[in-house]
Amino acid sequence: MTSLPVGTLDQPAAAGRSRPGEPLLEVTGLCVDYGIGPDAVHAVLDADLALHRGEVLGLAGESGSGKSTFAYAVTRLLRAPGVITGGVVRFHLGQGRDIDLLAADEAQLRRLRWTQVAVVLQSAMHALNPVFSIGDQLGDVLRTHRPDMDRAARRDRAAQLLDMVGITADRLRSYPHELSGGMRQRVMIAMALALEPQLVIMDEPTTALDVVTQREILEELAALRDRLGFAVLFITHDLSLLIEIADSIAIMYGGRIVERARATALFRAPRHPYTLGLLGSFPSLHGPRVHMTGIAGSPPDLRDPPAGCPFHPRCRYVMERCRTELPPLRPPARAGVQDPRVVACWLQDGSVPPPAELARPGPGSGPAPDPGHGPGPGVADGTNEPAADPAGTPADPQGGAA
Amino acid sequence: MTAPGAAPALPVTGTPVLEARSLVKHFPVHRRGRRIQHGAVVHAVDDVSIAVREASITAVVGESGCGKSTLTRMLARLIRPTAGELLLNGSPAARQNAREYAGQVQMVLQDPFASLNLVHTVGYHLARPLRIHGLGPDGTSLDDEVTSLLERVALSPQNVGKYPHELSGGQRQRVAIARALAVRPRVLLADEPVSMLDVSIRLGVLNLLADLRERERLALVYVTHDIASARYLSDTIAVMYAGQIIEQGPSATVTDQPSHPYTQLLLAAAPDPDRPSPPALRGRGAPPSLVSPPAGCRFHPRCPFAMDVCARQAPPTVEVASGHVSACWLHAKDPDPDTPQNPDPDLRSFTPTTARQQDSRPPRGEST
């Protein structure tokens, strides 16, 4: 694994964070195929990622970029025809012990799942069993993993869990169809946190929800994370949301991680043309309305991936080399010491000067340039940028978890 | 280059191409296929008036269940309003038969994977409306028209023989737009046209809609839950809550100076990477049941500024700035309802009481 401790930055805001640094999950060279043999589709290719205790790591990409497959492979929840063809997923249990999740047997996984690693899926509607009450389903988790708890204790704990996500205990008797979409997703979060895991993997947890509900759930999640200290792997296609809530972000494209950086650095100073294009795909809520173009073309067909860089057919800055040679994921040539980030792009290896929009100074190195969005009404302008790291100040409930 | 929505300000005079006056849609409440409780209805849309003009884009923004799709379906005459009037080019739409109306007002649906027929080619999809509306030259091939349609939505004519599964999501949505354009409509209703598409190709489709507005002088209604894209694309934004339009005005004004507490809430909750600190949500909770919506202002149970009057009487629609209206007592000149001083019949409030009285009559058009 390229040693890139994404969470151990000496940014001002990161200093106030609880227990930064210590790695929790290290993924190295993960490869996942769908199918076997020459027809296999390479859904995840050579993915490296590190997640630290208490960190929120965002994984962003379009449909088919491999972000969900990545999560399923890491948790060993991948079903056939998905096949993990390579890599190491090291999960740190603390006190220097760790376990390779890809080599673990079922018994080891069972001990780890839910108690250490929990998953919240996108569709709470389908993840909850329609014929059992919420209380029964929460109780099921406890009965399986905490056999010493008696019925009354399970019920108390279930009520406590619901209360934690802002649902009153009388809802224990409700069935999933009696709850709104937001409440169902809250139940899913409560269930994931039932055994206080160290890592919660969330796959598009709020995508199907309205913005107000989404924001409420994210706030609750932030507060819970501050209290319980779990790390989150947050998977979504909504990069604008991720920049607000994540500490660091990895961008996936065509099955590969193409850029990984602190959220602020990624937003203020993207280094990969795809990241730049993705950022330019979200219209701003403030400032002058400028014409935006998104990204030309469509995501690659993984059955027939392009040679060289997977993004080259859509890239504005494509060079001859991009068509044949795959750029490695490594620190950009001009990265500062304070800017530990990696990018897979030939523009950033120092052989050519990158275009200005891919060479903006990062937030750690002097005042950040305004990326074309003026400050909105009542919003402080960008000059206090280093302090506005989404990692958040300790006092701020959202920025922390988020 | 300016944003699509930042096109030159259009005169707000002249007859709107499509105008809805006090549209109401109540759906009877069913249980196990039978109507229960005479008069129990879902107030999906209540007293909504909206006018769209040539070469303009109107965005209808709201959360799920706010009635924006019901409104769009009424504008497309796919469902019949419980009450209210629809005017096409100033004359009542009810006088026109469905095909004439469809020749003027077309719709693009959310999911291009579902709205195209899997067993037919792109060419078939585009030629069909031409044949049905008798627009093709008699007895000759429609190839030229189909090719030109594809070009109008920036698709290569080589796609004509392809089936929907051979196209990407963005291409499919372009085919759906081309099909809507085939009859040369004057109004295009786009119901969440990009929400099923990948993020990186959404802007391409939105920019196409903006082009069509300019090139073909289409009146566009863009229905969305994404207020940022509404700000980007549209001239006017109408914000809906619980079946009513609660704020309406020029896009930049509505998003920069929202005057209704609900619009403020929507904007605070929307993702925004520029935000230096987490937003403060004022007005948490969920929209009300539309079977028995709250009396007075429908937002008052959630509203951080709720006053006594808000629970008693529906707010008037107040002009807070030129062309910018807000249905909120905070902006009323005299927020005391006991001295009614707003005699303007156009601003009459639609209370749940009158709704129930109206609905005790047999519903029209529901049996079909």
Q: Which of A216, A299, A388 sits opposite B281 (nearest CB)?
A: A216
Q: Which of B1, B229, B251 sits opposite A291 (nearest CB)?
A: B1
Overall pTM > 0.80? yes
Distance CA B155, CA A315 (A): 20
Q: How many helices (H) and strands (E) does chain B have?
A: 12, 14
- Listing DSSP states for B8-49 in one string gives PPPP--S--SEEEEEEEEEEEPEETTEE-STT-EEEEEEEEE
Distance CA B216, CA B333 (A): 42
Q: Measured between beta carbons, which residues in chain B are less than 8 angstroms from residue A397?
A: 278
- Listing DSSP states for B278-332 in one string gives PPPP-S-S-PPPSSSPPSSSTTTTT-TT--HHHHHSPPPEEEEETTEEEE-GGG-
Closest chain B C-alpha to A325 CA, distance in angstroms: 24
A211/B5 touch (CB, cutoff 8 Å), yes or no: no
Q: Measured between beta carbons, which residues in chain B are less than 8 angstroms from residue A383?
A: none
Q: Measured between beta carbons, which residues in chain A are less than 8 angstroms from residue B273?
A: 239-240, 243-244, 267, 279, 282
Q: Please tell me the least confidently modeled range out of A8-12, A34-38, A160-164.
A: A8-12
Q: Please tell me the least confidently modeled range out of A262-271, A378-387, B94-103, B209-218.
A: A378-387
- Interface membership of A325 toward B (CB under 8 Å): no
A286/B273 touch (CB, cutoff 8 Å), yes or no: no
Average of pLDDT values for A126-141?
91
pLDDT at A374: 37
Distance CA A329, CA B164 (A): 36
Give tens-digit pLDDT for A213-224.
899 989 989 999
Closest chain A C-alpha to B228 CA, distance in angstroms: 5
Indicate if the pLDDT at residue A15 is higher than 60: no
Give tens-digit pLDDT for B20-45.
999 999 998 876 656 566 678 899 99
Nearest CA in chain A to B257: A377
Is residue A387 a contact partner of residue A393, using CB atoms and an 8 Å limit?
Answer: yes
pLDDT at B12: 52
- Interface membership of B281 toward A (CB under 8 Å): yes
Is residue B143 a contact partner of residue B133, using CB atoms and an 8 Å limit?
Answer: no
B203/A243 touch (CB, cutoff 8 Å), yes or no: no
Nearest residue to B166 (alpha-carbon basis) of B219, B122, B115: B122
pLDDT at B33: 58
pLDDT at A303: 85
Indicate if the pLDDT at residue A17 is higher than 80: no
Q: Which of B169, B200, B279 sits opposite A295 (nearest CB)?
A: B200
- Interface membership of B31 toward A (CB under 8 Å): no
Instruction: Please name the residue ranges forming H helices in B153-196.
Output: 169-181
Give tens-digit pLDDT for A81-110.
899 999 999 999 888 888 999 999 999 998
Q: At what angle are helices B169-181 and B122-132 packed, to 10 degrees?
A: 20
Q: Please tell me the least confidently modeled range out of A383-392, B94-103, B332-341.
A: A383-392
Give me the residues of B, 109-138, that contact A with CB < 8 A: none
Indicate if the pLDDT at residue B287 is higher than 60: yes
- Interface membership of B165 toward A (CB under 8 Å): no
pLDDT at B30: 72
Give me the residues of A, 363-402, that contact B with CB < 8 A: 373, 375-377, 379-380, 382, 384, 388, 392, 396-399, 402
- Interface membership of A239 toward B (CB under 8 Å): yes
Average confidence score pLDDT of chain B: 84
**What ipTM describes this predicted complex?**
0.80
Which of B332-336's residues contact partners 24+ apart within 8 Å by CB, and which partners?
B335/B307, B335/B309, B336/B309
- Interface membership of A168 toward B (CB under 8 Å): no
Give me the residues of B, 224-243, that contact A with CB < 8 A: 225, 227-229, 231-232
Better-scored residue on pLDDT, B225 or A402: B225
Task: Centre a 10 Å sphere on the Cβ of residue A145 and count the other Cβ atoms it contains.
Answer: 15
Parallel, antiparallel or unpaired: strands A199-203 and B236-241: unpaired
Nearest CA in chain B to A212: B269
Confidence of residue B13 (pLDDT cuts 50, 70, 90): low
Indicate if the pLDDT at residue A56 is higher than 50: yes
Better-scored residue on pLDDT, B34 or B173: B173
- Interface membership of B169 toward A (CB under 8 Å): yes
Give tens-digit pLDDT for B102-159.
999 999 998 888 899 999 999 999 999 998 888 876 656 778 889 999 999 989 999 9
Average confidence score pLDDT of chain A: 82
Write phi, then psi, for A120 (nearest 5 degrees).
-115, 120
Q: Which of B201, B229, B284 sits opposite A283 (nearest CB)?
A: B229
